[in-house]
């Protein structure tokens, strides 16, 4: 191991000794140079560019119309297909159609926590400010989606199980997921200093990520009544194709919708944080046709 290798090693080793990397940026940059040398260079450059608030703002400005159109297209198609054309369920009749909202919301609820916590990991390790913006903006959206999953599940539960709420494993772990989102938001709003708030919420999100599978397992084992997951990547779905195809479209639509709202919130937050910089002033002037 050369001198550089030793320094990289020590840099990461300090993570385990002190529980916190004092200054990981030089080490990780070097490691990335080694990993992403050669033909990955272009990809890496693109990511680096995306990480800067200004170029993120410019790039996403181009994506937004596309994402918006895609969201509307997918959601309208999925909803009309699912609510009007998909066949009735032989047991649940028309009531099963709430599935086209409930299942996408439930799937998205979990993965939005995963995405939020990944942003936390990125912020803790590489200190990319954009990751902090991403984490902060994902929390309220994730909380709303989780809430939607709970509400639609409850409405579906009333005709099917005869009760608005049961302490079933999946309902309970979704409720806990909502609490985790609320915790991240509460911590963020309690801290005034932006820099410390970002790092503290990142840690909380990561701790929640480690705990999420444990919570899910323990709750599963505690009580199970809910039907098994509607979708799995490895198995053929139990429902007919006419029923799950619109569901797939809805799941996709929910994801694109999530990304759309996420990027919109992030752009707003970037403007808020960078409002003193030149490029924001120029952007604003160009937009409002005012001289600076």
Partner 1 sequence: MIFTVVKRELLAIFRNPAEVFNPLVFFVLVVSLFPLGISPSETVLQTIAPGVIWVAALLSTLLSMELLFRSDFDDGSLEQMAISPQPLLLLVTGKIFSHWLVSGLPLVMLSPVLSIMLALGVEGIQGMLISLALGTPTLSLLGSIGAGLTVGLKKAGMLIPILILPLYIPVLLLGTSLIQTAAAGGDYNAHILWLAALLALSAGLAPIATTASIRISLSH
- State in angstroms the smallest separation of the CB of 144 from partner 1: 18
Do residues 26 and 11 lie in contact, with contact meaning Cβ atoms separated by under 8 Å? yes
Nearer to partner 1, 174 or 230 (CB): 174
What is the binding site for partner 1 (CB under 8 A)? 16-20, 124, 176, 179-180, 182-183, 186-187, 190-191, 193, 195-196, 199-200, 203-204, 206-208, 210-211, 214-215, 217-219, 221-222
Nearer to partner 1, 51 or 183 (CB): 183
- State in angstroms the smallest separation of the CB of 123 from partner 1: 12
Nearer to partner 1, 219 or 256 (CB): 219
- State in angstroms the smallest separation of the CB of 223 from partner 1: 9
- State in angstroms the smallest separation of the CB of 245 from partner 1: 36
Nearer to partner 1, 60 or 201 (CB): 201
Nearer to partner 1, 72 or 186 (CB): 186
- State in angstroms the smallest separation of the CB of 21 from partner 1: 9
């Amino acid at each position: 191991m050369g001198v550089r290798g030793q320094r990289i090693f020590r840099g990461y080793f300090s993570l385990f000794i002190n529980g916190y990397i004092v200054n990981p940026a030089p080490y990780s940059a070097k490691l990335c140079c080694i990993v992403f040398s050669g033909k990955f260079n272009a990809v890496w450059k693109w990511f680096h560019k995306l990480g800067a608030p200004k170029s993120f703002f410019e790039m996403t400005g181009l994506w937004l119309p596309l994402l918006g159109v895609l969201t509307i297209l997918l959601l309208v198609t999925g909803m009309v297909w699912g609510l009007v054309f998909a066949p009735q369920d032989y047991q649940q009749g028309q009531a099963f159609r709430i599935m086209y909202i409930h299942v996408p919301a439930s799937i998205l609820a979990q993965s939005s926590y995963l995405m939020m916590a990944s942003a936390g990991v990125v912020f803790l390790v590489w200190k990319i400010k954009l990751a902090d913006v991403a984490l902060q903006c994902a929390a309220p959206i994730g909380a709303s989606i989780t809430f939607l999953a709970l509400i639609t599940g409850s409405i579906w539960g009333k005709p099917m199980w005869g009760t608005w709420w049961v302490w079933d494993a999946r309902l309970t772990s979704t409720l806990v997921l909502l609490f985790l989102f609320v915790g991240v938001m509460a911590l963020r709003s309690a801290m005034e200093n932006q820099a410390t708030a970002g790092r503290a919420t990142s840690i909380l999100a990561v701790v929640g990520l480690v705990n999420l599978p444990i919570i899910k397992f323990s709750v599963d084992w505690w009580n199970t009544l809910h039907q098994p997951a509607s979708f799995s990547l490895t198995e053929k779905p139990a429902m007919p194709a006419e029923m799950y195809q619109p569901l797939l479209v809805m799941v996709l639509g929910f994801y694109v919708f999530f990304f759309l709202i996420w990027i919109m919130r992030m752009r707003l937050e970037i403007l808020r944080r960078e409002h003193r910089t030149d490029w924001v002033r120029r952007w604003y002037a160009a937009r409002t046709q005012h001289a600076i």
